[in-house]
Amino acid sequence: MQVLIVCFLSFSYTDTLVGQADNLTPNSGFTEAQEAAARAWLEDLYSHGVTIKNDSVYFNDETRRIATDTAYQNLIYPDVYSWDLVPSLLQMKAIKPAVWYLINLYEADTSRRELVFKTILPLDQVIEIDRVLTAAYYTYIAFDPQVYTIVNGKTVAVKRPDIAEKKLLATKAIVDVVMAQRAKQLAEKE
């Protein structure tokens, strides 16, 4: 059994890089409460901030926080995304916001795209980073002030759908590299 510590958290996984909550080992030396916290953290990490079921729209806690906390909005949607903040976000276990920054930096700073991959690909060894990328996009695009006009925590108008599309394409491009890297690793194992 291989024990991996994910982003400074104290919970374990069996075997390889799957990163699914089902792989948490019951005899890993961690308490049920610690393992439950790890499962909840992963569930939140992989969840989309906005979901639509039937005729209803649901917002998770992260999305509600964005809608109501101005300081948090300023953190998630700065005027200029900074590489300097990414390591701090990762150290604070704010993986989804860090990934959102990387999506934006991939698009904004094309000369340093390799740095995005050097940050993202190691994370894929312990969590399903493709799922995190998708979740980050669908969580944070919903209130992105570059894309939407927001009034009192509500999206009232789409002003730049082209920017949403660019960020979606950036997300897809990063996911494509992640999936190619996984395929390469699997081929090397065989």
Give residue limits of the domains in the chain. 69-189
Residue with tokens 């949607």: 77
CA-CA distance, 178 to 172, in Å (whole number)?
10
pLDDT at 35: 87
Rg over CA atoms, the chain: 17
Residue 60: CA count within 13 A, CB half-sphere: 17
9 contact partners, CB below 8 Å, separation of at least 6 = 38, 41, 93
Q: For the segment 105-162, what is each residue's pLDDT rounded down to a tens digit?
A: 999 988 999 999 999 999 999 999 999 999 999 999 989 999 999 888 777 899 999 9
Q: Would you say residue 101 has pLDDT above 70?
A: yes
CA-CA distance, 73 to 66, in Å (whole number)?
5
Q: Which amino acid is at 173?
A: A
Q: Sorting pLDDT into bands at 50, 70 and 90, what band is 37? A: confident
Q: For the segment 163-172, what is each residue's pLDDT rounded down to a tens digit?
A: 999 999 999 9
12 contact partners, CB below 8 Å, separation of at least 6 = 1, 3, 4, 5, 24, 25, 28, 29, 30
The CA–CA distances, whole Å, from 151 to 3, 68, 124 equal 46, 11, 37
Q: Report the relative pairing of strands 154-158 and 148-151 from DSSP bridges.
A: antiparallel
Q: For the segment 41-87, what is each residue's pLDDT rounded down to a tens digit?
A: 899 899 998 888 899 988 899 999 998 999 999 999 999 999 999 99
Q: Sorting pLDDT into bands at 50, 70 and 90, what band is 16? A: very low
